[in-house]
Structure formats: C-alpha cells, structure tokens
Amino acid sequence: MPLLIDGTPHEDGVFTLELTPDAPHRLKTSPGQGSLTLGPRTLLKTADLWLPVDACVLWPCFDPFATPAGSPWPRSFYYTGNDSGFFTWAQLRPIENFSWHPQLRQDVHIDASQSQIRELSIHLQAGNQGHIHLKLPQQGMRLHLHGNLEQITVTAGLPESLSLSPATSKNPADEAFQLPDMGSLKQVATLELRNGAGKQPISLQNLLQFSKLESLSLWGNHSDLAQLSSCTQLKALSLRFMRHLSGLPALPTWPELDFFIAYNVEEAAGKRLRQQLKDRAKARPWADYTSVSQLRKPEWWAKEYGRPFAGWPAARARIAHAAYELAEQEIGTASSLGHVQAALTTFTARFNTVKGIETSEREDLGLAVQQLAQLPAALSLKLTDEQAQQWFDENRDY
C-alpha cells in the first residue's frame, strides 16, 4: 500500500523519522500496515520503532503521513513509555486507536478533554509507582482500562463506553476480585467487564455503583450474578465465554431488555436461556438481536479453560496438554502416594527438555501441579499442596 508523505505517493520502504530530539529513527513500513508499535527493547519483543521508556517523543513527526485516501497514518498506535504528549497532539490529529502502556514513576495529570482519540486503551502495570489523573472529552471516546484499576482517576468528562479488564490471577479457585470505586466513571451507560474464562472470578457485588447502566457485556469468569437483578434498566446484555451462570436472573427480570447474547456458555443454563427467549418473544417480541449459541459441556470447559495453558504457543500447549492428561490418568489409578509422586515428577520433568520456558509458563506449570494435586484420587491418599509443590521444585530445571 503506497503512503502519502506530504501529499506525495511513496511505496512501502524505509523512511527517516525525527521521532525524538536525538538521532533520527528509521521507520520501515510493509504492505497493508495500519499500526505502529513503539517502545523500549527491555520491555517489548518486537517493535516498529525502538525508543527508551522516558524518551521525549515528537509526535507531530507523523503529521506528513497519510493513507492514499488522505486519512492520517498510522490509524493505530501501541506505545510503551511515559510521554503523554500524544494527548495534546491528538487535539489536531485524529487517532483511531491508541493503546498506552505507561511505566509510571510518579503521578501524572493529563488533560485529554480536547483529544480526538476514538478508542483509548490504558494498561496499568502492577509495578507502577504513580497515579494517572485524567480529564476526558464529554463525548465520543471509548475507554478501555486494563490491569490495576486503582492507578487511574477520571476527574472530568465521560466516555461513550467503558471497558474494564482488571488484573486477575490464573487460579479460578481464588477469592473473587472486587471492583474498586470507579469514581465519575460510575455514570457510564455502557459497560464491558472482561476476564479470562479460566481465571479468578470478578465479583459483580460492586456493579451497582454503575447506577445508569443500560448495556452490559460480560466476558469470562464472573461471580455473584444474582446482583444483576438490581440492574432493572438494562436494555442490552451479553454473556460470553462464561463457564458458570449460577445465580443468573431470568430474562423477565429486565423488562426493557431488547438485545441479548449468550455465546460459549455452560450447556444447562444455555438451554434455559433459549426457552426464556422464546417465552419472552410470545409476551413481547424482541426489538433487537438475540442469540444463544455454542453451549458447552463441563468436559469442554475442563479441557479448554480448566488448565493454565490457554495463552501458550500452540506447539508448547500441545506438549503441556498431553503431559497433563497422562498425569491425570496415572493419578486416577494410583493406589499409593508413591504412584502420585511418580506421576507429578514425570509431568514436571517433561518440561526440562523444552527450551525457553518463561517465568509465566513456569508459574502455569506450578498451578497445573496444584490442580493435579486436587484430584480426588490424590486427596484420598492424603497428598498436600505443600508436598506437591516440593516435588515440583525438586524436579524442575526451569
């Protein structure tokens, strides 16, 4: 795809870019590219442009670039760093999507009230030492917050929609995560809560702080679904990748509901929801889209999300699933604690020959050992989590 630079067409290639006050950067573009990733080598595996986390970024250096149709290029930015000057730049230059991973060392106050950013995603890291105080536009921006939600306060303005993806643990047995007080964001009418299907649940106990909620979308593992009965003004409700729907109120709970999706949900609850859709249609036809699809049996959830390998590369995940299933079978037929030890030792040692096991994957394997130790056969032989963890640590080289 040719680019326009100061109105002149250029084929994809390498371009000199005054990205920082220091030496010029070299930008290499490829056909069809619509986004750019910027950040430090210490934090990113790949990037289009490398720069230190605290570098001063001259964002207007992108002003000459446009698509053949004349739209600003790139459309999307993925930036890891602490320069918030893009908010000021966006007052004049519209941005379709900006994903920001700040590495905060101190508090920052940002005025984005005039920024023309359609989708703003802020990823709040656990190690950040500062707090973001953010003024938003009065309308038009979709805000996505990821990670530690307590690191940001919106002091003015209101997003068109709000998406929250809080940091949750990989263990679904952990106590449910409680949403913090979201301050002025409690006034949003459209909310999305995103979580992994096999992760620590997000409790809906604090959902009532969103008193003006009309549209709610839930992804992944959530608990306290009975709290939804208080959201009587809902007009749209979506449930996706939800293994547990216990406590979910019946559809007549929301008299104004006209949009409903249940996708990849537990089978028994999904069948009840299908019947409720039909019953509601007889009383009052649905004015918008409705669907209940991809109903899943318990064994599907157990394999797809009951094991901590969901985010692994495909080849490595296949090895992990095969090793897990073998250990599961051996523990299921174990007649002594020694047999269980042998199964867990074999599982652990299997990955000593797998190159490049990362820290997060080592933690996943430790969690897998904990899960295997909770199998009924292992518990009946008096296996403790501490003993299983000891065997894991003694037999791994990663």
Q: Could you tell me the pTM of the whole model?
A: 0.86
Q: Which 8-state DSSP code applies to residue 287?
A: S
Give the separation between CA 173 and CA 223, rounded to whole angstroms.
11
Find tokens 């894991």 and name the residue. Answer: 392
Provide the residue type at 37 as one letter.
T
- pLDDT for the residue numbered 12: 85
- pLDDT for the residue numbered 359: 87
Give the separation between CA 290 and CA 114, rounded to whole angstroms.
37
- pLDDT for the residue numbered 303: 78
Q: Which 8-state DSSP code applies to residue 51?
A: -
pLDDT digits (tens, 9 = 90+) for 103-144: 999 999 999 999 999 999 999 998 899 999 999 999 899 999
Give the separation between CA 152 and CA 251, rounded to whole angstroms.
35
Mean pLDDT (10-residue bins), the chain, 398 residues: 86 92 94 94 95 97 94 96 98 97 96 98 93 95 97 97 95 93 97 94 97 97 97 97 96 97 96 97 95 93 83 90 94 94 96 89 93 91 92 93
Give the separation between CA 287 and CA 22, rounded to whole angstroms.
58
Residues in Cβ contact with 232 at an 8 Å cutoff, skipping those fewer than 6 apart: 253, 254, 255, 256
Give the separation between CA 357 and CA 95, rounded to whole angstroms.
37
Give the separation between CA 309 and CA 66, rounded to whole angstroms.
41
- pLDDT for the residue numbered 202: 98
Taking alpha carbons only, the member of 391, 397, 393, 398 closest to residue 343 is: 391
pLDDT digits (tens, 9 = 90+) for 302-353: 878 888 887 899 899 999 999 999 999 999 999 999 999 999 999 999 999 9
Instruction: Look up residue 139 and give its two tokens.
Output: 């309308």
Give the separation between CA 158 and CA 142, rounded to whole angstroms.
9
32-53 in b/e form (b: 16+ CB < 10 A) is eeeebbbbbeeeeeebbbbbeb
Provide the residue type at 309 as one letter.
F
- pLDDT for the residue numbered 1: 58
- pLDDT for the residue numbered 132: 98
Q: Which 8-state DSSP code applies to residue 345?
A: H
Taking alpha carbons only, the member of 186, 192, 236 closest to residue 218 is: 192
CB 80 within 8 A of CB 103: yes
